[in-house]
């Protein structure tokens, strides 16, 4: 039988006892997050008032919330950072701003309605007696109407049409009535005329029999 020197056995024992075990990686600490909340308001004749249905988003994280009937919103899970916040609702100007989040944070936002105007006029045909109003003319405005556009109007017995929520600038109108054509239509679409809206605007439209 082969014998190992006692000193070698002792050295091996000490080495084994003193070895440092390899520890598994420690779990990552969860990110600290905070709550961002506030009220979205607009100015009215009676003073500031909450706006319901505003979509508020923190762009860096993609978190979002919608305001309640009082204009209040709240979103949890916002990390400490420079937060980019936007607020959107049809018929209102878009809000965008940045703030530093270092704890639970309140952000009140004031938005304003988009300035809109009334576009109206008379549809008519020229006869031997002069201008004769045309009833039942269908007029379509893609950019008019509260608050997202896509609005139809049908002229009354006096040939009158009217759109609310019209914006300043060239505004195409599609005009149709069986048996008639639009005079001076905008090529290449002869049933379209362009109204130059500047504030509340009257724009009369001439049609002629086919």
Residue 6: inside a domain: no
Express each pLDDT in 165-189 by its tens digit: 999 999 999 999 999 999 988 778 8
Share of the chain above pLDDT 70, in %: 86
Residues 99 and 183 in one domain: no
pLDDT higher at 23 or 143: 143
Domain of 125, in residue numbers:
117-209
Residue 88 lies in a domain: yes
Say whether pLDDT at 5 is over 60.
Answer: no
Q: Is the residue at 46 inside a domain?
A: yes
Rounded-to-integer distance, Cα 106 and Cα 78, Å: 12
Tens-digit pLDDT profile for residues 92-110:
999 999 999 999 999 999 9
pLDDT at 187: 74
Same domain, 202 and 141: yes
Q: For 20-24, 49-53, 177-181, which range has the lowest pLDDT when averaged over its residues?
A: 20-24
67 assigned to some structural domain = yes
Rounded distance between C-alpha atoms, residue 169 and residue 174, angstroms: 16
Cis status of the peptide bond prior to 43, with omega within 30 of 0:
no
Any idea what the CATH number is for the domain that residue 53 is in? 2.60.40.4130
Give the Cα separation of 195 and 173 in Å (integer): 7
Cα-based torsion angle of the residue sequence 36, 38, 43, 49 in order, rounded to the nearest 10 degrees: 150
Tens digit of pLDDT for each residue in 121-163?
999 999 999 999 999 999 999 999 988 889 999 999 999 999 9
What is the spatial distance between Cα 167 and Cα 34, in angstroms, rounded to a whole number? 40
Across residues 27-51, what is the average pLDDT?
90
pLDDT for the residue 148: 83
Average pLDDT over residues 36-42: 98
pTM: 0.67
Separation CA 202–CA 160 (nearest Å): 10
* pLDDT value for 186: 79
Confidence band (pLDDT; 50, 70, 90) for 29? Answer: low
Both tokens assigned to 119: 């576009």
- Domain-located, residue 10: no
**Are 176 and 152 part of one and the same domain?**
yes
Are residues 127 and 62 both part of a single domain? no
Q: Tell me the CATH number at 196.
A: 2.60.40.10
Q: Is 8 inside a domain boundary?
A: no
- What is the domain count for the chain? 2
Do 70 and 147 fall within a single domain? no
């Amino acid at each position: 039988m082969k014998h190992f020197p006692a000193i070698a056995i002792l050295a091996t024992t000490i080495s084994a006892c003193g070895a440092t075990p390899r520890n598994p990686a420690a779990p990552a600490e969860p990110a600290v997050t905070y709550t961002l909340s506030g009220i979205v308001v607009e100015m009215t004749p009676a003073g500031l008032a909450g706006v319901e249905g505003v979509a508020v988003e923190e762009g860096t994280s993609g978190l979002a919330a919608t305001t309640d009937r009082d204009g209040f919103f709240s979103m949890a899970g916002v990390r400490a950072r420079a937060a980019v916040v936007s607020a959107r609702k049809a018929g209102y100007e878009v809000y965008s701003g940045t703030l530093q989040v270092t704890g639970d944070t309140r952000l009140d936002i004031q938005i304003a309605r988009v300035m809109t105007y009334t576009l109206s006029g008379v549809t008519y045909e020229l006869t031997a007696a002069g201008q004769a109003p045309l009833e039942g003319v269908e007029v379509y405005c893609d950019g008019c109407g509260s608050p997202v556009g896509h609005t139809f109007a049908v002229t009354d017995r006096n040939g009158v049409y009217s759109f609310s929520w019209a914006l300043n600038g060239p505004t195409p109108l599609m005009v149709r009535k069986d048996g008639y054509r639009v005079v001076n239509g905008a090529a290449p679409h002869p049933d379209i005329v362009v109204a130059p809206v500047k504030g509340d605007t009257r724009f009369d439209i001439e049609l002629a029999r086919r």
